[in-house]
Amino acid sequence: MQSRFWMAALLGFVLIAASACSSSSDNARVTDLEEELQAEQELREEAERKAAEEAEKREAEEEARKLAEAEAEEERRKAEQAEEEAERKAEEAERQAEQQIQEQAQTLEANQRAQGLLDAFEGLSETTALTSFTAPPEAAVSVATRNRLTFGPSPGRTSSTRSGFRYVKVTDTFGRTRTTVIYTDRELNRRLLDHYGAHLEGTRQINVADAGITVTNLVATNSVASLTNNGNVPRRSPSTAYVSPPNLTSLPGSVHGQPGTFRCTGTGCLITLAPTYTDHDSNADTTDELTTLAMSSTGTLVFEPGAATIPLCGDNAACAFDDTEYMVFGYWIEDPESAVATYAVSPFAQVFEGAGLATFPTSGQARYTGAAVGVYVESAPFGSTDIDKRQGEFEASVSLTADFGGTVGGWISGFRTNPRAGSAAPRTSNWRVTLADVPTAATVTGSATIDGLGGSGNWAAQFVQARADAASAEPPAIVGVFDTSGPSLHIVGAFGAEQ
């Protein structure tokens, strides 16, 4: 467009010049110039047309290139997906092959050992009494020094935590391999509030009198209770008789070394401090030394501790307390060296209770949850040509509901299995054992069956009764054993559950 403008301007100039010329030669010259300008104009227009065509061609080529690249990228992506799918199928085929190999790896010896364990199952007592099952190994759970639990039958074994319980698995070999699995809820530490079950319900206060806390001789270092800085009572007898501060309603102190506050509750309640001083050297020139300090109140005296805990160390002289209400449960297996020799197996469960227990309740409800452990032997389903028997250990979850004055029952589910003695994994572990309802009592017995398999079995349990000074008479825990079998599965184990 710009070139046309200049051509027009030049042509106009030429015409002006031509009009100014009078000779014919000048007119001819003008004509030649016009023709030259016309030719040049045509050449410029042709060049612009070709340039536009070239640009369009380049744009078309660029679009074609981009389209080709997109198609190539799509082909590459599809190829990668196909490769990943092929790898996934290959891995799945390999996994299935490995699983098949594992299932086919069941040896004759593994079958014989599983059969031996099954025979040992059949030898267990068919009665449902809890005492019919073997008790825990001697000194199954004891308290060692440095505030640690140790587990028998091998001394010195410490525990880990599993399913909310302390747990240990001990294996000893003396001509035959004996495996013992022990679970317990025995505590090594307890909140001070929980230790004194007489604490006021719904508060963080311990009733000093009801808890039997001694509130005299607070100066002594081995006393149950003490006041911070002796309640600021002078360590030496003052020149005049000591008078307890008026309007005293609280004092910082400690119980069993755990800090807190002694507080006087009730309308007009006041605390009185009564020190006693003793002249140790019979020298009238020196003041007497504070030896005892009694604290009394005109109302209810309580102690408000923090969240601190006290150690429960059993016979350890460094501690003043022990957990006297706890349970122990588990099982043991003896594997002989020969696959065809006699096996031995038994679950166990035991309650340990101290003195001063609450009366077993006759009303109310409570739900208990915890862990079940033991061993199983799985046979081939009915009608199957598979002759393999598979054995192993398990851990599962247990849940029971007790209606005091009514019935108690529940179930065991969520089995997690661990094959043993060369056995393959079980064909399925989606098992559920029903512990049939029975009348609630301190010790109960009832039937146990495997859902979907029928068969027969039994369970037996004992409640861990509450202390007499506990806030509730409902038992805090229950522990027991069970033995149940169906056409293709036999399970033996023990369980423990807490509120």
Stretch 397-409: mean pLDDT:
97
Under DSSP, the state recorded for 256 is T
pLDDT-based confidence at residue 128 (cuts at 50, 70, 90): very low
Question: What burial letters (b/e) apply to 384-401, b meaning 16+ CB within 10 Å?
Answer: eeeebbbbbbbbbbbbbb
**Strand (E) or helix (H) holding 195:** helix 192-195
DSSP β-ladder status, 407-419 and 390-403: antiparallel
Residue type at 97 in one-letter notation: A
Backbone angles phi, psi at 85, to 5 degrees: -65, -40
For residue 406, the model assigns a pLDDT of 97
Q: Which tokens hold the place of 112?
A: 């014989």
Q: Which tokens hold the place of 179?
A: 């495996």
pLDDT per residue over 323-350, tens digit each? 667 888 988 888 887 777 788 888 888 8
Count of alpha carbons within 13 angstroms of residue 434, beta-carbon side: 12
Q: Is the pLDDT of residue 46 over 50?
A: yes
More confident residue, 240 or 89: 89
For residue 154, the model assigns a pLDDT of 56
Q: Is the dihedral of CA 56, 61, 65, 71 positive or negative?
A: positive
More confident residue, 173 or 130: 173
For residue 316, the model assigns a pLDDT of 53
Rounded CA Rg of the chain: 46
Q: Is the pLDDT of residue 10 over 80?
A: no
Stated pTM of the model: 0.63
Q: Let me know: does 404 contact 361? Beta carbons within 8 Å.
A: yes
For residue 218, the model assigns a pLDDT of 78
Residue 476: cis peptide before it, omega within 30 degrees of 0:
no
CA distance 322 to 486: 43
Q: Is the pLDDT of residue 151 over 70?
A: no
What distance lies between CA 284 and its chain's CA centroid? 67
Residue type at 357 in one-letter notation: L
Under DSSP, the state recorded for 342 is -
CA distance 494 to 362: 26
Stretch 357-362: mean pLDDT:
89
DSSP track, 102-166: HHHT--HHHHHHHHHHHHHHHTS--S--GGGSPPPPTT-EEEETTTEEEESSSTTB--EEETTEE
pLDDT-based confidence at residue 409 (cuts at 50, 70, 90): very high
Q: Let me know: does 275 contact 232? Beta carbons within 8 Å.
A: no
For residue 175, the model assigns a pLDDT of 59
Mean pLDDT of the chain: 80
Q: Is the pLDDT of residue 227 over 70?
A: yes
Q: Let me know: does 120 contact 345? Beta carbons within 8 Å.
A: yes
pLDDT-based confidence at residue 407 (cuts at 50, 70, 90): very high
Which CATH code is given to the segment(s) 109-188+312-498? Answer: 2.40.160.90
pLDDT per residue over 73-126, tens digit each? 999 999 999 999 999 999 888 888 877 665 555 577 888 888 888 888 877 754
The DSSP bridge partners found for residue 274 are 294
Q: Let me know: does 147 contact 321? Beta carbons within 8 Å.
A: no
Q: Let me know: does 321 contact 191? Beta carbons within 8 Å.
A: no
Strand, coil or helix: 78: helix
What separation, in Å, do the N-terminal and C-terminal C-alpha atoms of the chain show?
96
Among 356-360, 428-432, 478-482, the range of highest mean pLDDT: 478-482
